[in-house]
Structure 1
Amino acid sequence: MSLTALTATHGKLATDVNASIAGGDVGPLTTVQTTHATDLVIATMVDPPSTAKLRGWMYDGADPVLRVNAAGILAKRPGQAQADDVTTALANDPSARHLYITAVAARVCGLDWATASHLAADPRCMPERASFLAARFAEEVTNVRDAGARWCSAVMLRDLSPLLGR
């Protein structure tokens, strides 16, 4: 879906969340995990001071939903520095990593949230679907619009690797 179409669909919510970020209000980012599409739109709106707030929340936010939402928005901003920050945060935050991998698995593999969460916790839980899952994550590992999804997909591919070729 194009960014224009995503903005038309998610623009109001993204504008409201962006205003909250600018104002230092973490409330909207702790309520519910934002979607990939919403994050894409918010990422186009945040300015440098808001980006700095998101970076701080990604590392030091009190709630894992806040941390994963901040990471999700930053992961969709351009620039390698942002990508490095996101992958470092995810590598060192098991709670946020689990939420991010769950979201990626649900989106790219077409899984319901509970099944995606189970897969994120134990990638070996569906050995009969390992090839299908690996193919989906292999496609996502080249997602140019989401550094977090690339990293999470690579982690899942690594963990699924022993199940392939059986």
Structure 2
Amino acid sequence: MRTRDENKETVIREKALEMIVSEGFDGFSMQKLAKAANVSPATIYIYYTNKVDLLNRLFNDVQQTFSDVALKDFTPDLSLEEGLWLQWKNRLAFILEYPVHFRFMEQFRNSPLVNHEAIKLSDFRENMKNFVINAIKNNEMEMMEPEIFWSVSY
């Protein structure tokens, strides 16, 4: 069995993100990825079992990076105003620092390629849920459907 090379894996991941953002999922193949990453197609399969495994693991990593940036200095106990302002700032920071990651997340989130069993739940959702619950308890907002709150807030 061939050994794993972290540098190759990093290049594979970066090239995959770039290709998906620029060409979409339809234009993405393992063969094209191997060529772009300057590795043999067999090398990719050392790290990923298939295309769906690669995509889901990329999404998990990108989602974790988003969560880390979005939750910087954030606690669910912040007031509604403070928490929303901080979320807007942190989300903008993520978009500016990781534009390819952001575009990948937006594409992937709405894709039928998402294997929901393979997607890890991040701390982000739990923190935001508790933030909204606290805002309701503190009479800073009315009870509403989560979809309405998210579409109005972000």
Which structure has the larger Rg? Answer: 2
Larger RCO (CA under 8 A, 6+ residues apart): 2
Q: Which structure has more helix as a fraction of its residues?
A: 1
**TM-score, normalised on structure 1?**
0.30
**TM-score, normalised on structure 2?**
0.32
